[in-house]
């Protein structure tokens, strides 16, 4: 399972709002959706920002 799939599952399981996570991460909502759908490359900076917004360590998705 890829990292973006693990992030999407984590968000869904915890009932989090994708747009609020994107905003906290400083990623445009459309780009965040593309990342979660595997249509956009997930760079390490994006992963760090997403993890910061989710208040988890990146290792959770590795």
Q: Are 45 and 31 in contact (CB under 8 A)?
A: no
What's the pTM? 0.93
In this structure, the chain runs to a length of: 62
DSSP E strands in the chain: the ranges are none
4-62 per-position pLDDT tens digit:
999 999 999 999 999 999 999 999 999 999 999 999 999 999 999 999 999 999 999 99
With respect to CATH, is domain 3-61 assigned 3.40.50.150?
no
Quote the pLDDT of residue 48. 97
What is d(CA 10, CA 28) in angstroms, rounded to the nearest whole number? 19
């Amino acid at each position: 399972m890829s990292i973006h799939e693990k992030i999407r599952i984590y968000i869904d399981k915890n009932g989090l709002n994708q747009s609020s996570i994107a905003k906290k991460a400083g990623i445009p909502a459309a780009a965040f959706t593309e990342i979660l759908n595997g249509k956009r490359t997930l760079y390490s900076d994006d992963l760090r920002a997403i993890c910061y917004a989710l208040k988890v360590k990146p290792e959770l998705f590795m």
